Amino acid sequence: MRAALDAAEPRVLLIEGPPEADGVVGLAAEADMRPPVALLAHVVDEPGRSAFWPLAEFSPEWVAIRWAVRRGVPVRFMDLPAAHALARGDAEPEGSPDGEGEAAGPGSAVSSEQAVRIDPLGALAEAAGYDDPERWWEDVVEHRAAGGDVFAPFEALGEAMGALRETYGSGGHDRDLVREAHMRLQLRAAQREFGGEGVAVVCGAWHVPALREKVSVAADRAVLKGLPKVKVDMTWVPWTHRRLSRHSGYGAGIDSPGWYGHLFGAPDRPVERWLTKVAGLLRDEDRLVSSAHVIEAVRLADTLAVMRGRPLPGLTETMDAVRAVMCEGSDVPLALVHDRLVVGDVLGEVPESAPAVPLQRDLTRLQRRLRLKPEALERELELDLRKETDAARSRLLHRLRLLGVGWGEPAESRGSTGTFRETWRLRWEPELSVRVAEAGVWGTTVLGAATAKAEADAVGAAALADVTSLAERCLLADLPDALPVVMRVLADRAALDADVGHLAQALPALVRSLRYGDVRGTSTGALGEVALGLAERVFVGLPPACAGLDADAAAAMRGHVDGVHVAVGLLGELAAVTEVAGAEGPASRTEGPAVAEGPALAGGVRGRWQRVLRGLVGGERVAGVVRGRCARLLMDDGVLDEGEAARFMGLALSPGTEPGEAAAWIEGFVGGGAGGGMLLVHDERLLGLVDAWLTGVSGDAFVDVLPLLRRTFGAYEPGVRRTLGELVRRGPGRPGAALMTEGAPGFAAELDRERADAVLPVVGLLLGLRAQREQGGAGPQALRGRRPRSPLHRPSGPRPQTPDGLDSPGLGREPAPAVVGAAAGERMRRWRLVLGGDAADGTGCALAGRDAAMDGALASLYGGGEKKARGRERSAGLGASAPSVARWLGDIRTYFPSSVVQVMQRDAIDRLGLSALLLEPEMLEAVEADVHLVGTLLSLNKAMPETTKETARAVVRKVVDDLEKRLASRTRATLTGALDRSARVSRPRHHDIDWNRTIAANLKNYLPEYKTVVPERLIGYGRAAQSVKKDVILCVDQSGSMAASVVYASVFGAVLASMRSISTRLVVFDTNIVDLTDQLDDPVDVLFGTQLGGGTDINRALAYCQSQITRPADTVVVLISDLYEGGIRNEMLKRVAAMKASGVQFVTLLALSDEGAPAYDREHAAALAALDAPAFACTPDLFPDVMAAAIERRPLPIPDMQPHQ
């Protein structure tokens, strides 16, 4: 390019690019401008609408610009203005990161016309017999010998493109025709001004034939007439080699920008210099690479180039040589070379004089002051918040995150867990320049913009947890002006939100904010008051919220209890700090939080929390997993001693408790990462209780709870499970001598003094006792004298008893007669299935036949199996193969009942990420269908390939048919009776007379002498009318949390639509509205017409429903939603009030499913209740009665769930 420009000596240079860049092109001559860089154009009023034109050091446009600005030659950009391109939504095909220029491979299933349009050089390379366009370009252009006619390559490319354009035209893209029309007009104007020989054009070869084409000025102007236009700003921004590469999404990119940058910059011997770079990189990664490796790699690259008939070694030859010589045939270090050198992480720079929004200038100033240079390569930054500079860096990064500028992401600190430590991963991407421009609408400085953004986010937050999270982020970012606004919104939301789940989610973040405030020296008095108030409301609302929960809701509630427990612990400590600060002044805060003593805390917030936990432990209606978890938390806090814990466990595992509930209690008490396994190891009474329950439960019940138990115990480390197995195998009441021959060493009933003495010298060294002994102090003998009792050592004396006076069952009892022989074998079999095998097997029980197959199916999901594959130990998991998962699904259906299979299916989807495999037909054929699975399939509907949709429809059809069989008949009968009773007639036929009402209305006509009532007026109903009597509108929220309700609503909608006396309309909504009334003849079509997920706009949906009402007095509107409104709340309530005033029967169902108490917006429910529109959860079996009551305008049969009325 430079040689051609030197030869042509043009008077003006026209470059393909947006004309708005004419004003900033002079910055290319600045010493601080270092490519890769990009021109950035964005709409002034909407910075998010933007486009990039990246330029690398080796880009022809950049070379031409630098040549022109150094010689004073005018530079003008000639492409379609960005003002038009951004208004039209177009992106430059050679410039936009989202362009359509990604190359299609030779086997791509696109037409040849599309392939040429996408990559014209690929078509030329294919015509020349090359399978790699870049390799063809290297041979024809890059490796072309210097000298000769400098214009020959350009003429040859122009001629080749002319042939392609004659064959394929514009490639079917009208955008290019518009751009080329503008280029021709600019070219004509330059020729008139500077003369025909004084103009040089630098553009993509694809456009050369169009620029040479003879087209009239009027025709070009007609193409450009009427184009939309917006106001744009243009500037330079840094770019990276990685963003220049095609695989990053840049349409006009290349695969190896680092390689081409090297070729462009190497003065001589490019292969030798390149391989030297490679060797340096590998040595930095501690690989043994010497100069001899470089010499051999150069020789091999030259040899390969000769063998392949290439003029010089290219990237392919050099990388092959690197793999063979320096990487010893491994692709792992070769991938590092490709990432670091072939692509590279070079980040360009732009001068300070480049145009920028004020926020960008303030950010640049802060980066320079804090010595935080933006870099393309990801790096970790460790911050010590006790240092002023590090604290300022932390504040900057947190403020940028709040503004949506994700330069840094928090990471876990490896060196310390203290709150004064922070770890960040930093990486600057070019797109962040756009994010900074977008954030400029909030302010001109980082602090001001972050403050304004936080205040706006607080006012617009949808949930209480969002506000508490924002408060935490404000403290981290040190936004003192925003915090009062956030706190005011937080206090208002906390006062109005009565949902315990929301409150429990919000409390931990709030308490963490208090903790960060102490560390950062921020005043958090108002925050502490809100946190204490929130905690009190959780304490009050938690017990009723824990009643009547299904398995999923109980698991979620257990997570809330854990979060609140941790928060209360911190809150108690921080409450003590507040008291100290109040007594001693603010200065005491700088010393860090003080920890109050246990008794003091027991009387404060922690004591109240412990009383709540005690109440939950003994709650009869509280789910087992929650009761067990509460008991464990109390025991860990020292409030519940081992005897009480054993009593509660004994009650939970008593024969009167359902096995599933008992297994859930065990999961709550010893499940999860709470060290439950070690608790059972060190407390044989508790293990004995579990053992007695597990042995006594019936065989069928054991199979039902086995997956839940395996899930609980499978979470333990293999060593813990093995120890438990050995303790169980020891058997009840065996003496220590016998144990030494059967169990593993170290698990005897008495201490092995010889083995203990062997470790005393080492323990003495660790404790520093050798020095004491040399000085006449205590030594190992003294250590032996005060040796602590082993946790497995049982003292002699009476057996421990439970508080009720009964012997504690378990491993310390004499064996019952039943636990011998076959019963003992069954006991070990059960424990083996619960604990798993392989390294975790301490039971010594071998499984065979059906048991072994059952164990393998459990191991695939919960771990602990004993299968091996090709000599290697097999890890738990189902893998990514749909056929293997389908076989697993078939296995579990063979061994477990349907209810258990459905639980395991949900575990597999949640734990192993099998949602994608639901898109495979063979898996769907094997799955056990239920409402939850249908919800999952509906959420995957858009991602489902056509080959799978028929199988998915069959699965959904099966569930829908089962539901219709269960619900349709009763629904029709109930509603038909309600319709008949609602249609009173003055002269009913004999069989339509309501005798009870008729007699009551005619008692005044009673004739005592005849003991007869003369029916002067008959009361009855007409059943024969075929006209439509009632209009029913089902308005269903299709957000992700309402999946089961959507399934049931579609089934009921189809049933209602089949009744001629009811006109049924089904409307589903998120932020959009879909009327599925036309598809009500088939509920499967209805379900596949929904799209689960997304936001919620109830107001908009009700507005549509209101427009469909023609007979208000005969209309029933059923809103099925959790009431989490994303639209305009007041407008929603006004619409409900207007419908009620017009005579519409309005019913709100918070859920239509069997899933127990739902989560819902209690504030909105209370507002609807104030409008006499009751809101409550409804089961499918109750729905017909609810509809019948609504049709007859009588009180609704609301279940006992404290409805908002």
**Amino acid in the structure at residue 261:** G
Instruction: State the DSSP H helix or E strand holding residue 1020, giving kind and residue range, or none if neither.
Output: strand 1020-1021
Report in angstroms the alpha-carbon separations of 964 from 109, 656, 932, 978, 1060.
44, 35, 17, 20, 18
Q: Is the pLDDT of residue 22 over 70?
A: yes
The Cα 951–Cα 188 span in angstroms is: 62
3-state helix, strand, coil in the chain (%, to 5): 60, 10, 35
Instruction: Give me the mean pLDDT over the 538-542 stretch.
Output: 83
Nearest one of 1194, 1201, 1139, 1203 to 1171, comparing CA atoms: 1139
Please say whether the beta carbons of 695 and 830 come within 8 A: yes
For residue 501, which amino acid is it? G
> From CA 1193, how far away is CA 1145, in angstroms rounded?
8
- The reported pLDDT for the residue numbered 201 is 92
Average pLDDT over residues 259-271: 86
Confidence band for 143, pLDDT divided at 50, 70 and 90: low
| For residue 209, pLDDT beyond 80 | yes
What CATH number has the domain spanning 1030-1192? 3.40.50.410
Residues 244 and 254 sit within 8 Å (Cβ to Cβ): yes
**Per-residue model confidence (pLDDT) at position 816:** 40
**Three state DSSP letters for 923-961:** HHHHCCCCHHHHHHHHHCHHHCCHHHHHHHHHHHHHHHH
Amino acid in the structure at residue 151? F
844-861 pLDDT per residue, tens: 788 888 888 888 878 877
The SS3 of residue 431 is coil
The mean pLDDT value for 464-483 works out to 81
d(CA 137, CA 122): 10
For residue 821, what are the contacts with CB-CB under 8 A and spacing of at least 6?
A: none
Radius of gyration in angstroms for the set of CA atoms belonging to the chain, rounded to a whole number: 38
- Reported confidence tier of residue 778, pLDDT bands at 50, 70, 90: very low
Considering 67-76, 506-515, 799-808, 1158-1167, the range whose residues carry the highest mean pLDDT is 67-76
Q: What percent of the chain clears pLDDT 90, i.e. is strictly above it?
A: 10
Band of the pLDDT at 98, cuts 50, 70, 90?
very low
H/E run at residue 164: helix 152-168
Q: Output the pLDDT for position 867.
A: 38
Check pLDDT > 60 for residue 1129: yes
The mean pLDDT of 561-569, rounded to a whole number, is 86
Q: Which two tokens stand for residue 445?
A: 């400085």
SS3 track for 1047-1105: HHHHHHHHHHHCCCCEEEEEEEECCCEEECHHHCCCHHHHHHCCCCCCCCCHHHHHHHH
> Within 13 Å of residue 443, how many CA atoms lie on the same side as its CB?
17
Q: For the chain, how many residues are written?
A: 1205
Q: How many CB atoms lie within 10 A of CB 16?
A: 21
Q: How far is CA 244 from CA 16, 682, 866, in A?
A: 18, 60, 50
Can you tell me the distance from the alpha carbon of 122 to that of 133, in angstroms, rounded to the nearest whole number? 5
* pLDDT for res 884: 53
3-state DSSP assignment of residue 1170 = helix
Which amino acid is residue 386, in one-letter code? R
Question: Could you give the 3-state DSSP secondary structure of residue 547?
Answer: strand
Q: Reply yes or no: is the peptide bond before residue 18 cis, omega within 30 of 0.
A: no
Contact 1031, 1115 (CB under 8 A): yes
Q: Cis omega (within 30 of 0) on the bond before 74? A: no
| Sheet bearing 1115-1120, strands edge to edge | 1073-1075, 1062-1069, 1030-1037, 1115-1120, 1145-1152, 1175-1178
- C-alpha closest to that of 448 among 47, 456, 470: 456
Q: Is the pLDDT of residue 477 over 50?
A: yes
- What whole-number distance in Å separates Cα of residue 234 and Cα of residue 41? 5
What pLDDT, on a 0 to 100 scale, did the predictor assign at position 774? 52
Q: Quick check: 536 pLDDT over 60?
A: yes
Q: Residue 989 has which token pair? A: 């036929």
How many Å apart are CA 941 and CA 226, to the nearest integer?
41
Give the domain ranges of the chain.
2-102+176-248, 266-343, 357-440, 499-640, 984-1024, 1030-1192
Dihedral over alpha carbons 920, 921, 926, 932 (to 10 degrees)? 70
14 pLDDT band (50/70/90 cuts)? very high
Identify whether the C-beta of residue 87 lies closer than 8 Å to the C-beta of residue 227.
yes
pLDDT tens, position by position, 278-310: 999 999 888 889 999 999 999 999 999 899 888
* Short-list 477, 286, 240, 256, CA closest to 378: 240
Q: Which residue has the higher pLDDT, 466 or 987?
A: 466
Residue (of 1153, 1149, 1048) closest to 550 by Cα position: 1153
Q: 3-class DSSP state for residue 128? A: coil
Q: Letter for the amino acid at 1046?
A: V
Instruction: Encode burial over 36-70: b for 16+ CB neighbours within 10 A, e otherwise.
Output: bbbbbbbbeeebebbbbbbbbbbbbbbbbbbbbbe
DSSP conformation class of 921 = H
Instruction: State yes or no: pLDDT of 340 exceeds 80.
Output: yes
Least confident span in 531-545, 689-703, 1080-1094: 1080-1094
Q: What is the pLDDT of residues 321-337, one digit of tens each?
A: 999 999 988 888 888 89
Quick one: how far is CA 523 from the chain centroid?
33
Cβ neighbours of 960 (radius 10 Å): 23
In contact, 865 and 856? CB cutoff 8 Å: yes
Q: For residue 1006, report the phi and psi dihedrals to the nearest 5 degrees.
A: -75, 130
| Lowest mean per-residue pLDDT among 133-137, 145-149, 440-444, 762-766 | 145-149
| Those residues with Cβ within 8 angstroms of residue 306's Cβ, 6 or more apart along the chain or in another chain | none
pLDDT confidence band for 979 (50 / 70 / 90): low
Q: How far is CA 470 from CA 438, 533, 575, 690, in A?
A: 20, 18, 22, 45
Mean pLDDT of 150-177: 79
Distance separating alpha carbons of residues 1113 and 265, to the nearest angstrom: 83
Mean pLDDT of the chain: 75
pLDDT band at 67 (very low <50, low <70, confident <90, very high): very high
Give CA–CA dist 1000/1015, Å, rounded: 10
Output 760 or 874, whichever has higher pLDDT. Answer: 760
In three-state secondary structure terms, 791 is coil
Tokens representing residue 306 in the block: 């000769």
pLDDT of residue 984: 56
User: Which is it for strands 1175-1178 and 1145-1152: parallel, antiparallel or unpaired?
Assistant: parallel
Reference 1151, options 1116, 1128, 1183, 1127; nearest CA is: 1183
Lowest-pLDDT range of 743-747, 831-835, 1045-1049: 743-747
